[in-house]
């Protein structure tokens, strides 16, 4: 976490720096600025999480700085440091999203108390994980299917759709860590566990862009590791699904059963199946059953009732109706075309 201290009095500025340095939780960086304009430039370039600012400064004063931060960098937490005669200014600053103000002279305990409060609030600034579950599940599925283009699309969609809007850097890192845990957990359930580490081992995580970049690198690493592990031995889940359906035509196999068999979520499997085969799961299964029935109807020793049962129809009239709708003639008429009574 990074802190920016904005104070034009060198002695006070150094004192505030020391107070922040003595805070029990260490900060990754403590920046300083002598006026509002320098402070804004620092915020643009270095994205601090917290700003402690005086109100009375040369060039751009603290009040204008607070207004600019509120307008342009809403996620940055601001604390105003003011004297008793600046109280009205401090009140105006509070309408600009300022979280707290400290009255001069500021003590170390004052600074530490306000840091405790703000940091706790920032860590609580995490949207419930269920908002990200669907996104994480789709990511895991694209990784498992080695669909690199789809993985990239999902990552870009997460950023573009505002999935992480309103989160501070700490919250975003926590959410993506949870997503990573979900992805690894689902991959492990499939029988393969990637060798992963934490986000900050794949690049700096001081800004939201850096956190997302580190997450993208880690996801890419998992995909490469999976591809290397398989070494061309990967079974296409759609081919596996169709083979499973073909082998169990006599059973009442549901879409959910097949999806579970190939390790995909039911809704995702349904959409992927239709996209891949050009037909729904139900239509594909009926087609395969009718194809099998046509072959068996050419075998004189098999009765139509037996054939119906072997392709999954215990109800003979239902089988007859389905066959006629699919083939155009009844089973007995189809059999008669081979000279079989």
What is the CATH topology of the domain spanning 2-123?
Rossmann fold (3.40.50)
Give the pLDDT confidence score for residue 126 in this predicted structure: 46
Give the pLDDT confidence score for residue 233 in this predicted structure: 58
Give the pLDDT confidence score for residue 229 in this predicted structure: 78
pLDDT tens digits, one per residue of 261-320: 887 778 888 888 888 889 999 999 999 999 999 999 988 888 999 999 999 998 889 999
Give the pLDDT confidence score for residue 286 in this predicted structure: 93
**From CA 221, how far away is CA 218, in angstroms rounded?**
5
Same CATH topology for 2-123 and 237-336: the answer is no
- pLDDT at 259 > cutoff 80: yes
Domain 237-336 listed as CATH 2.40.40.20: no
* Residue 130 pLDDT level (bands cut at 50, 70, 90): low
Among the ranges given (116-125, 142-151, 247-256), the one the predictor scored with the smallest mean pLDDT: 116-125
CB 98 within 8 A of CB 82: no
Domain ranges of the chain: 2-123, 130-230, 237-336
**Cα 255 to chain centroid, rounded:** 26
Triad 104, 108, 111: Cα angle to 5°: 75
Q: Please report the DSSP string for 201-218 in residue order.
A: GGS--SSHHHHHHHHHHH
- Kindly state the tokens that stand for 134: 């669907």
């Amino acid at each position: 976490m990074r802190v920016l201290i904005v104070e034009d009095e060198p002695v006070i500025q150094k004192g505030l720096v020391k107070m922040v340095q003595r805070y029990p939780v260490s900060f990754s960086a403590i920046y300083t600025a002598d006026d509002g304009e320098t402070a804004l430039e620092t915020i643009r370039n270095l994205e601090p999480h917290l700003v402690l600012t005086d109100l009375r400064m040369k060039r751009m004063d603290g009040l204008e700085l607070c207004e600019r931060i509120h307008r342009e960098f809403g996620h940055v937490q601001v604390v105003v440091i003011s004297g008793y005669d600046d109280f009205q200014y401090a009140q105006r600053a509070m309408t600009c999203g300022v979280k707290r103000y400290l009255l001069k002279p500021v003590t170390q305990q004052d600074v530490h108390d306000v840091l405790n409060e703000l940091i706790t609030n920032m860590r609580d600034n995490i949207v419930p994980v269920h908002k990200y579950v669907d996104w994480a599940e789709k990511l895991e599925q694209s990784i498992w299917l080695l669909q690199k283009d789809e993985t990239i699309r999902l990552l870009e969609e997460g950023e573009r759709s505002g999935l992480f809007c309103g989160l501070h850097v700490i919250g975003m890192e926590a959410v993506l860590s949870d997503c990573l845990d979900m992805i690894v957990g689902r991959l492990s359930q499939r029988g393969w566990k990637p060798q992963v580490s934490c986000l900050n081992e794949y690049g700096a995580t001081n800004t939201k862009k850096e956190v997302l970049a580190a997450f993208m690198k880690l996801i890419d690493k998992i995909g490469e590791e999976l591809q290397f592990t398989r070494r061309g031995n990967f079974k296409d889940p759609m081919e596996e699904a169709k083979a499973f359906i073909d082998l169990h035509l006599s059973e009442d196999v549901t879409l959910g059963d097949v999806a579970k068999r190939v390790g995909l979520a039911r809704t995702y499997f349904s959409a992927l199946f239709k996209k891949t085969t050009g037909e729904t799961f139900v239509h594909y299964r009926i087609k395969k059953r009718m194809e099998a029935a046509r072959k068996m109807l050419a075998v004189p020793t098999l009765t139509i009732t037996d054939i119906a049962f072997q392709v999954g129809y215990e109800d003979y009239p239902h089988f007859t109706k389905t066959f006629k709708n699919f083939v155009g003639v009844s089973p007995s008429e189809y059999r008669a075309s081979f000279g079989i009574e």
